[in-house]
Amino acid sequence: MSQITRTIAGCSFKCGSFYFTNSLCVSLRPVYNLSICHSFGTLHSGARSSFCLPFSISRSKPNVLCRTPSVKFTPSLTLVRPAGHSHWHNIRHIKESKDALKQKTSQDVVRKIKLAAREGGSVNPKLNSRLARVLEEGKARDVSNVTMMEVLKRMEKGKDMKGASVFVEAIGIGNCMVIVETYTDRPKWIRQEVQHVMKQYGGRIGEAGTSAHSFNFKGIVYLVKDQEKPMSEDEAFEVAIEVGAEDVMQGLNDDGQDTFQLICDPKQLHAVKKALEGRGFKPDTARLEFIPHVFTKLDEASLEVASRMLDGLEAVEEVVRVYDNIES
């Protein structure tokens, strides 16, 4: 408390970390609220404890603070935190938000790499066009190249290829039906993780058959629409019948590209893909999926909760894909 310096010409002074002025009453910001009343020569604000400061106000020069042990002020202090958050508090939350987003982006890309490698049959991007696109996406989203290469190395050695497909059925908010597809060698652990997320959003997991009755299990071959040689839906349906598929839908693939999706019996998936390749088409992906045939309609509030629930499920390690029957 012995440091006393004049900080602003004519009116403002510093005592340690305290600022005050030669006025009737001022508030000290941003750390403490103090007031000074020099008519009584006392610095005060109503707290119970007090201490002495070795300075006085010069009568001949009222804007000058003089050190003197003979005149003592007896200030009473009330420590008041400023409104709002501290600078570090704000920085910390911004950093946490950015770190969380970066981690989620990395997890999403790693999941897509594993899927592309398993379903494309190769960890070599030169032989797996889907994998090559995912790696390009990872670079565009600022995912570390070291992270992506490490995943491929582990898969090449077989460390990330161990396990089996495990499906966890669940019921979400508004009785919407959910099936979580995973690839894991820890079936009990993955059920616990899915249950944890479902509970957070008012849902629960169930036994086999809990939600499967609302879906059809089908094979789907994805054909990316050719912008140079566009094909109508009727033409796509004719092609589907010729190669042994049952129906055609339109939608986006995992990379956000417009596709025709040829639906077939699960046992015919490989044959349909080969037949398309024999006709000069280049299927993007061929896999087994759950397609809803019974839908659940949710209100806006429930849709928001369901959206967060699905995001939470997709963020779980070893989750491959999440299916729902929510009416869009």
At residue 95, the pLDDT reads: 52
| Those residues with Cβ within 8 angstroms of residue 195's Cβ, 6 or more apart along the chain or in another chain | 204, 205
Write down the pTM of the prediction: 0.59
Closest C-alpha among 70, 303, 96, 286 to residue 201:
303
What are the average pLDDT values for consecutive 10-residue runs of the chain, which has 328 residues?
Answer: 35 41 37 35 36 43 44 41 42 56 79 82 86 86 89 80 84 97 90 97 95 96 88 93 95 86 94 93 88 95 95 88 92
DSSP-based three-state secondary structure for 279: coil
Structure letter (DSSP) for residue 213: G
The type of residue at 49 is S
Give 163-166 contacts, CB < 8 A, sequence gap 24+. Answer: 163/318, 165/320, 166/190
Closest C-alpha among 113, 94, 99 to residue 151:
113
DSSP-based three-state secondary structure for 34: coil
| 281-306 pLDDT per residue, tens | 988 888 889 999 999 999 999 999 99
DSSP-based three-state secondary structure for 263: strand
Q: Please, what is the average pLDDT of the chain?
A: 75
Rounded-to-integer distance, Cα 293 and Cα 177, Å: 11
